[in-house]
Amino acid sequence: MIMKKIDISTNINGIKLPLCIMNASGVLCSTDQELSNLLNSFSGVVVTKSCTYKPREGNVPPRYFEWDMGSINSMGLPNLGINFYLNFLERKKINKPIFLSISGLSTEENYFLVKKANQSSKITAIELNLSCPNLIEKENILGYDFCKISNFMENIFKFNKKPLGIKLPPYFQDAHIKNIALILNQFPIFFVTCINSLPNGLFIDANKESIVIRPKKGFGGIGGSIIKPFALANIHKFYTYLRKDISIIGCGGISSGKDIFEHILCGASAVQIGTQFMKEGIMVFERLKKELTFILEKKNYSSINNFKGKLKNI
């Protein structure tokens, strides 16, 4: 019996990825060593830590906590600054697509960072993070400000020539997803990444009767398995409302091949791994690749395109 070849490569609006699984910005992708590990891993893309103009230490620790169903963090964008990431890429032999994640502390800083990223030939695409919930300096998440986001995107595309995607916060109403999709559909966006962590969660240590992270009086972004239903809902809705040439990168609650299968079934073209990558380390990508391949073999699918976006109603 001839075994059918299983293809779990993908493409993001024409950008070819050898594997549909990648790291999520924010987790183990900040330093020279962490980025080198990702270059040598099974991850289909290297996504850098969301960078600012100047290096940042981020919020005071403890700022990350895990429990069996998820994680809470208020990291505060610790990163080595955009020049470090551009210099790293210039020094390295690049063997896979590179997504530079950007998260300026102001609109003007974002413009500056995008312009600087446009000067590098090593960057395949820019992931513009409009959804970080953990900055003490910024009370508002731009991804929730529909009035500002349209003007912001209009200005970005006056000068941006690189493939550009938007990392979005979770939305909880159909009307909000429809509205943001209508805005994004007006621009030459390559992809959206959804979702970032759920903002303003609180986890309690009942024994100590206290919060578990120090910044923002214990409030932080929630990730891990517990947020998967929200991620799937956002992916499925965006798949309905976005232009079909805008790819979706699913993120949220992935710890198994089955979770990846569900993200793709809802309409994702690729997925990002955050909390589980933090828990398991660099080998997570190889394990997830094997698990997803096994599911496709079992279901007699030859590629992710056989089922992408084909979630059935009952």
Which residues are annotated as catalytic? Answer: 132
* Rounded Cα distance, 276 and 79, in Å: 21
- CA-based end-to-end distance of the chain: 36
* Rounded Cα distance, 126 and 129, in Å: 9
- Phi, psi of 115, deg, nearest 5: -60, -45
How far, in whole angstroms, is CA 56 from its chain's centroid?
20
Beta bridge partners of 47: 99
* Rounded Cα distance, 79 and 230, in Å: 28
Please report the beta strands in the chain, taking only residues with DSSP state E, as ranges in sequence order. Answer: 10-12, 15-17, 21-23, 46-47, 64-67, 70-73, 98-102, 125-129, 164-167, 191-194, 198-202, 204-205, 210-211, 219-223, 247-251, 270-273
Q: Based on the number of CB atoms within 10 Å of its own CB, is 312 exposed (0-12), middle (13-18) or buried (19 or more)?
A: exposed
